[in-house]
Amino acid sequence: MVVHDHAFAEDREPLSDRPRLERWTIDPRARKVLTETIDDRGTEFPRGDERLTGRRHRYGYTIGASSVRDLGALGDDPRTGVRKHDLVGGTTVEVDLGSGRIASEMVFVSDGSAAGEDDGWLMGYVYDAARDASDLVIIDA
């Protein structure tokens, strides 16, 4: 889950200073929610393999930015990337989409019903500020 500490607190801009990726584990017996920060860099649009929604999974995908404002505004030199989080190994790899390119939410598309959890592709639109146009981008998961 992406947490925004102050979303909509100052104005209608939905982004807080540093949205971060967290895992929330609900313990119904203790009546508590345990939180763990996975990525404290600017991040948004968490997704995973929807075949595993509500079940244990290893990989998650987000959009990361060189600056948090790049997630919501063009600024001087926006840049976003697609991050793959290994939730078991604790590592993250990022595909940099390049200067002036802003990614939308990516969708995971599996390579068939029997495919492994990260056996597939991420698909989403990426806006290119220099061309004032968007491209459908497909990335090997």
**Greater pLDDT, 76 or 60:** 60
Do residues 18 and 42 lie in contact, with contact meaning Cβ atoms separated by under 8 Å? yes
- Average pLDDT along the chain: 86
Determine the pLDDT at residue 71. Answer: 54
pLDDT the model gives residue 72: 54
Confidence of residue 135 (pLDDT cuts 50, 70, 90): very high
- The predicted pLDDT at position 66 comes to 58
> Which runs of E-coded beta strand occur in the chain?
2-3, 20-27, 32-39, 43-47, 59-65, 79-86, 91-99, 101-103, 107-110, 120-128, 133-140
Q: Mind listing the pLDDT tens digit for each residue in 12-63?
A: 555 556 788 999 999 999 999 999 999 988 888 999 999 999 888 999 999 9
| Cβ atoms of residues 20 and 2 within 8 Å | yes
- Among 4-18, 43-57, 89-103, 104-118, name the one with the lowest average pLDDT: 4-18
SS3 call for 69: helix
In this prediction the pTM is 0.83
| β-bridge partners, 84 | 61, 93
Is the pLDDT at 104 greater than 60? The verdict is: yes
